Amino acid sequence: MPQPELRICLDADDLDANLRLDARRGLTSRPKHLPMRLHYDGRGSGLFAELTRQPEYYQTRSERAVLRDRAGEIAAALGGGPVSVIELGAGRAEKIRPVLDALAAAGRLDAFWPFDVAAGEVRDVLLELAAAYPDAYLGGIVGDFTRHLAHLPDHRDTRLVAFLGGTFGNFTRPERAQFLRDLREALRPGDRFLLGADLVKDPATILAAYNDAAGVTAEFNRNVLHVLNHRLDADFEPDHFEHVALWDAGADTVDMRLRARKPMAVDVAGLGLDLRFTAGEEIRTGISAKFRPAELEDDLRAADFAPSGYWTDDRGFMGVFLAEAV
């Protein structure tokens, strides 16, 4: 069996440079802010996995239910020929598995490419999938899907790019529009885009997912400070920052922050920064936009995608949207 192809678009030095740029830019801004991607070191990924198991965190269970129950319909909506699947932010490639299984059962899974920043995880996933899909071509892309979409594999058959887990909501509105334009530029007419999105619902249900009783979200949020301590030789005191999650009804967005419980001086030695925090000062650590189906489909059309399918779970919590590049 041939070794899976691996396309390396960034390495550890790139990740380190990006971390330094993000941290310097965000910590010297007013107000301070840090991007959501900085949460996901090894510890952060483990905390997020724990978070998805909390009873309040409906997102993962709801999206999995849609993909499990509607995988056959999704596969059928892709037409009748072979399909090459690329999953952005694949992680362990668990989210997309029902669709891969449906395509493989119909003899239509030509190739699968997980796309993620972690080279080790991409390699591990490819090894796991080799036994599950022996007839499919397997390859991986190690890169940042906001920068490296031009490296998507150019198979002759229909390509399906999947972006699941609600990560699309971590982008600001301008970032979402730019991402859709960049993705459309990387695709051919007839290629498909499968997008998982958290839908607007009762704000109490939404906020409970970001304020779980076990405090996992709070620890996940504070983990960004542990990352800066470890990677940039900073001396943040994470336990002295309060986790805050607010609902912005005007923007249909959860706004996550860390609020200083007391005045603090912080040395970020790796960047040569001396920071001062007043009591109550906040660092914005991420957003999570929620979507109304008609508005999201309008955004897809604006980027030259034609919506062609929409599925949701029984409660209407998570939506899975299919669109075709035109």
Q: What's the CA gap between 242 and 221, in Å, rounded? A: 9
**Tens digit of each residue's pLDDT (9 = 90 or more) over 164-200:** 999 999 999 999 999 999 999 999 999 999 999 999 9
Q: What's the CA gap between 5 and 152, in Å, rounded? A: 12
CB 138 within 8 A of CB 112: yes
The predicted structure's pLDDT at residue 156? 83
The predicted structure's pLDDT at residue 118? 87
The predicted structure's pLDDT at residue 3? 75
As given in the structure block, the two tokens for residue 111 are 């190739």
Confidence band, pLDDT 50/70/90 cuts, at residue 42: confident
Q: What's the CA gap between 71 and 99, in Å, rounded? A: 5
**75, 84, 137, 156 from 99: Cα distances, Å:** 7, 11, 16, 20
Average pLDDT over residues 4-22: 92
**Tens digit of each residue's pLDDT (9 = 90 or more) over 101-143:** 999 999 999 999 999 998 888 999 999 999 999 999 999 999 9
The predicted structure's pLDDT at residue 1? 53
Q: What's the CA gap between 274 and 287, in Å, rounded? A: 26
The predicted structure's pLDDT at residue 154? 87
**Tens digit of each residue's pLDDT (9 = 90 or more) over 270-293:** 999 999 999 999 999 999 999 999
As given in the structure block, the two tokens for residue 268 are 């970020």
- Through-space distance between the first and last CA atoms of the chain, rounded to whole angstroms: 37
**Tens digit of each residue's pLDDT (9 = 90 or more) over 214-272:** 999 999 999 999 999 999 999 999 999 999 999 999 999 999 999 999 999 999 999 99
CB 305 within 8 A of CB 324: yes
Share of the chain above pLDDT 90, in %: 91
Q: Where are the domains of the chain?
A: 1-142+153-326
The predicted structure's pLDDT at residue 19? 94
Confidence band, pLDDT 50/70/90 cuts, at residue 2: low
Q: What's the CA gap between 149 and 163, in Å, rounded? A: 12
pLDDT higher than 70, residue 309: yes
1-142+153-326 CATH fold: Rossmann fold (3.40.50)
**Tens digit of each residue's pLDDT (9 = 90 or more) over 49-93:** 999 999 999 999 999 999 999 999 999 999 989 999 999 999 999
